[in-house]
């Protein structure tokens, strides 16, 4: 079972799903607003602290010729064991989608780093 699966299975709806419509069901998260993705939460609260890293910085910029397209990279702090960009995306529609794609790459990197350190 991956960490994402384990974390999502631990979420409990705050209302009974059988008696309320989907729009009324809210999932409770004690420390994060609902707009943050599960992947970002995993990266920031599970993998980074376990590896002794601060959460990454996402540098995302829009394309001047196509304002809805974004490109960017994820970086860890200068003093960490990780140097250079961990992931990068180009021409992704929407800033939130670009950050989500970067977070997926960061999560995969952190999973590999965790396996490498265990070996």
* Within a domain: 11: no
* Within a domain: 110: yes
Residue 25 has a pLDDT of 46
pLDDT in tens, 85-96: 999 999 999 999
Residue 112 has pLDDT above 60, yes or no: yes
Mean pLDDT of the 49-53 span: 90
Of 1 and 52, which is predicted with more confidence? 52
What CATH code is carried by the domain that includes residue 75? 3.30.160
Question: What is the span of the domain harbouring residue 46?
Answer: 37-118
* Within a domain: 102: yes
Q: With contact defined as beta carbons under 8 Å apart, do 94 and 68 qualify?
A: yes
How confident is residue 44, by pLDDT bands cut at 50, 70 and 90?
Answer: confident
Does the pTM of the predicted model rise above 0.85? no
Mode of pairing for the β-strands spanning 66-75 and 85-93: antiparallel
Residue 68: phi, psi to the nearest 5? -85, -10
* Within a domain: 13: no
| Domain count of the fold of the chain | 1
* Within a domain: 107: yes
């Amino acid at each position: 079972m991956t960490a994402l699966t384990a974390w999502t299975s631990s979420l409990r709806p705050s209302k009974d799903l059988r008696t309320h419509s989907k729009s009324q069901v809210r999932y409770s998260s004690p420390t994060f607003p609902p707009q943050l993705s599960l992947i970002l939460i995993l990266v920031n609260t599970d993998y980074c602290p376990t590896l002794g890293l601060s959460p990454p910085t996402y540098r995302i910029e829009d394309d001047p010729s196509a304002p809805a397209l974004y490109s960017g990279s994820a970086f860890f702090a200068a003093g960490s064991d990780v140097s250079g960009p961990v992931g990068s995306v180009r021409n992704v529609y929407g800033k939130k989608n670009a950050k989500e794609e970067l977070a997926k790459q960061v999560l995969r990197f952190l999973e590999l780093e965790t396996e490498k350190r265990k070996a």
